[in-house]
Amino acid sequence: MNKAHKQKADLLKALGHPIRYCIVEGLVSGEQNVATMVDCTGVPQPTVSQHLNILKAAGILEGTRFGNQIHYSVVDPEAKKIVLALK
């Protein structure tokens, strides 16, 4: 197994949870804050935040602070391609 295989498997693993996939799918169309993700996913804010941390650690998302809110966006082009292919 080479490094590229490991990176792709790690990406799929991060996207493999239904809540994380839902978050990334929603962000493919544009930035969102946590409140919007809570409404979309139907799970509590602490749960969304835990999944956001996993996606950020995997390098899939990035957050930009606007006042007291953080707006998240997809920064990994491979993750974006995967989600768009599954739509």
Average pLDDT for residues 20-33, to the nearest whole number?
A: 95
pLDDT one-digit tens code per residue, 31-60: 999 999 998 899 999 999 999 999 999 999
Q: Is the pLDDT of residue 11 over 90?
A: yes
| C-alpha distances in Å from residue 75, one per residue of 1, 37, 39, 42 | 26, 17, 22, 24
Q: Is the pLDDT of residue 1 over 90?
A: no
Provide the terminal-to-terminal Cα distance of the chain, rounded to the nearest Å. Answer: 29
% of residues, the chain, pLDDT over 90: 92
pLDDT given at position 18: 95
Given a contact cutoff of 8 angstroms between Cβ atoms, the answer to whether 34 and 70 are in contact is yes
Query: What is the reported pTM?
Result: 0.92
Q: How far is CA 32 from the centre of its chain?
A: 11
**Tokens standing for 58?**
């995997």
Given a contact cutoff of 8 angstroms between Cβ atoms, the answer to whether 55 and 5 are in contact is no
Domains defined along the chain, listed by start: 3-86 (1.10.10.10)
Average pLDDT for residues 68-82, to the nearest whole number?
A: 96
